[in-house]
Amino acid sequence: MTANLLDFDLEGLAAFCEELGEKRFRATQLYRWIHQRGVRDFDAMSDLAKSLRQKLPDVAYIASLPVLSRQNASDGTIKWLFDVGSGDAVEAVYIPESDRGTLCISSQAGCAVGCRFCSTGHQGFSRNLTTAEIIGQLWFVEHTLRAERNTTDRVVTNVVMMGMGEPLQNYNALVPALRTMLHDNAYGLSRRRVTVSTSGVVPMVDRLGLDCPVALAVSLHAPNDALRSDLVPLNRKYPLAELLAACARYLPHAPRDFLTFEYCMLKGVNDQPSHARELITLVTSFNGGQGLHCKFNLIPFNPFPDSGLTCSDKATVQAFADLLSQAGIVTTVRKTRGDDIDAACGQLAGEVLDRTNAATRMATLRQGTGTVHTIQVTAASAHNVL
């Protein structure tokens, strides 16, 4: 059995080195070569003992997911579709802005939560990604873009777990990947620049607070249990009161003194002034009137076929934002990228996940790499989240 070294955080790599009869500090050297420099050829790792360099090719390798397609939008946004086998694909999206470069990463092929407004949710769950497949998206994008730009400077400054899947339903694979994002001998991102977005897996919110407290974004989408259970079925298991209590427990661990609520604006469903007022009461009356320190990120709904839902119009979104702001809640409306970008949650990957004629479509995708003028970006475009 050979091991993919992307599967290990530093602790795991140290244990692996020990199994090989090597000193633990060799792991730090390896970790740096892999993550800081993007090197996968053991022979090129010049400060490793020669004996270890000779041993490694028999027991280990470094590989991210195969790329099915890449799309470049004219504003610099890039989306990759990765093959995860069995006709499934996941996507990662790089979103450059003047002061940062955000990478949106997937955690699962499909998703079991099944939110009504999410195309990934409509396709169901295929499988969890491994740690190597999660961190491999960052490893691949960071080092591919550095090489293309002929720079050793950091390209990805922020990571958001907002691609396909519910990260907290793949907790054991997620945490080592997060640790590698944060580690100074790997990507060295600060905790506030790594965001986990969740539909509200309450026990795992608590565990994340203890194990690896990065920035947290909670997908709220509704101000009461009846509506939220309809939109986010997981709410039946972990209703709002429990979710908000978990958020309050997370706050002392969080890298900032607030957390972000995401709210997808659905015409006539959750976008009325009455919903805004209910939302204000929900967060301000929390904990006997103490309130919950949070900010809201309103996401215009990205339509997809058969959802039966439409996006709220601009004026409605603005009126909703104004009501929250007037109540003292910091609220942003997520921008979509330039006009050539139709922001949508996982639509391209979604097509692949629809197994009808999957093989034909995968073949088409394999040929389809190149510059395009329209790009479907995951909902996770993640502007204003941080």
**Contact residues: ligand SAH, CB under 6 A:** 117-118, 162, 166, 197-199, 219, 262, 264, 299, 301-302, 345, 379-380
Examine the residue annotation and report whether 345 is marked as an active-site residue of this protein: yes
Rounded least distance, CB 265 to ligand SAH, Å: 8
| Of the candidate residues 91, 166, 271, 351, the single one contacting ligand SF4 (CB under 6 A) | 166
Whole-number Å distance between alpha carbons of 77 and 71: 8
Rounded least distance, CB 125 to ligand SAH, Å: 11
Whole-number Å distance between alpha carbons of 381 and 337: 8
Nearer to ligand SF4, 30 or 349 (CB): 349
Nearer to ligand SF4, 131 or 235 (CB): 235
Examine the residue annotation and report whether 91 is marked as an active-site residue of this protein: yes
> Residue 380's binding partner, choosing from ligand SF4, ligand SAH, none, with beta-carbon cut-off 5 to 8 A by kind?
ligand SAH
3-state secondary structure of 271: coil
The DSSP output letter for 114 is: -
Residue 318 · residue 275 · CB < 8 Å:
no
CA distances to 90, 129, 221, 256, 271 from 65, in Å? 9, 10, 32, 33, 39
* Active-site pick, 115, 118, 294, 345: 345
Rounded least distance, CB 266 to ligand SF4, Å: 12
Nearer to ligand SAH, 144 or 199 (CB): 199
Rounded least distance, CB 101 to ligand SAH, Å: 19
What residues from 53 to 112 belong to the interface with ligand SF4 (CB under 6 A)?
A: 111
Whole-number Å distance between alpha carbons of 177 and 17: 19
> Residue 114's binding partner, choosing from ligand SAH, ligand SF4, none, with beta-carbon cut-off 5 to 8 A by kind?
ligand SF4
Residue 126 · residue 83 · CB < 8 Å:
no
Residue 83 · residue 65 · CB < 8 Å:
yes
| Of the candidate residues 101, 114, 209, 300, the single one contacting ligand SF4 (CB under 6 A) | 114
Both tokens of 270, joined, read 């959750």
Choose among 373, 11, 366: nearest CA to 179.
Answer: 11
Nearer to ligand SF4, 157 or 219 (CB): 219
Whole-number Å distance between alpha carbons of 180 and 126: 25
Amino acid at 200: G
Rounded least distance, CB 309 to ligand SF4, Å: 13
* Active-site pick, 17, 22, 91, 166: 91
Choose among 349, 350, 351, 343: nearest CA to 379.
Answer: 343
Residues that bind ligand SF4 (CB under 6 A): 111, 113-115, 118, 120-121, 165-166, 199, 219
What residues are annotated to the active site?
91, 345
